[in-house]
Structure formats: structure tokens, C-alpha cells
Copies of this chain bind each other. A is one copy, B any other.
């Protein structure tokens, strides 16, 4: 396959899949893809900083600030000031936030999981598993 064709078809596949996933996410959870990512990062990485979350999710710190404001107003996260640097605010999940993550973690990806299970053969699933880190590599570059 000529390389330009590979990149073009990969782009189209990613765009189509993303569109479907976003639609499904909005269907089931009232949070955007980035908001779901954000809360996932907080749950896996306690006392993380707003700037770190922004860089992980590839949005500006200003946008992340808005998301965190929303989460805080809903009682999902708590901020604790850092002792060594008074500008820094460590972010962590409240019990309510933990509960929401737990409730949603499985439900959130159930849709995609079901598609994988019903549409793909075992061999295709194995291939897919191998490719995820490759996609990560392509996405990670700056």
C-alpha cells in the first residue's frame, strides 16, 4: 500500500470512529470525551495539577480550568493547595467523584466493547491489541 493511502485511510477511519464514540458518549453520560478523559486521569493519578491534566488531554489550561470548575461545582473533585508552591493546586476525586468513576468506567466503554466482541474475530481482536500502542505512538508525537 502506498504510504499516502495508508495515512489517508487511517485518518478517515479515526475520524469516523471518533465521531461514533463521541455521539455514544453524549448519549450515555452528559460529559464530553475530554471531560471523561480528565476524570479518568484524576482517578488514576491522585493530586495531579491542572496544567498536567491540560497537557495530558491536549487542551489549553484555560479550557481545563473550566472543566475543573464544573467538576468542583458538582462536588466531584477537591483542590488542596501545595505547600512548596502556593500557585499549585493538587486535584483529587471526592468520594462522590470516585463513585461516579466506578459507576461509569464499565458502562462508558461497554458500547465499544460490545462492537469489538460482536463484529471482530479473535484474530482481529489480537491484531487490534497490538496496534493500540502504535496508535498511541502516532498520537504522542509533538
Interface, chain A (partner B; CB < 8 A)? 1, 3-4, 6-21, 23, 33-34, 37, 40, 58, 105-106, 108-110, 112-113, 115-117, 119-120, 124-125, 127-132, 134-141
Contacts and interface: CB of A to CB of B under 8 A. Distances in A.
Nearest to A113: B7
A119 B8 CA distance: 17
Contacts of A130: 127
Contacts of A113: 3-4, 6-7
Number of copies: 2
A127 B13 CA distance: 15
B112 A7 contact: yes
Given A4-B105, A127-B127, 13 more contacts: A4-B109, A4-B113, A6-B129, A8-B108, A10-B128, A11-B21, A13-B136, A15-B21, A16-B139, A19-B58, A19-B139, A119-B141, A120-B138
Contact of A136 (B8, B16, B34, B128): B16
Contacts of A58: 16, 19-20, 23
Nearest to A116: B7
A115 B75 CA distance: 41
Given A58-B16, A113-B4, A139-B16, A127 B119 contact: no
Contact of A132 (B10, B20, B33): B10
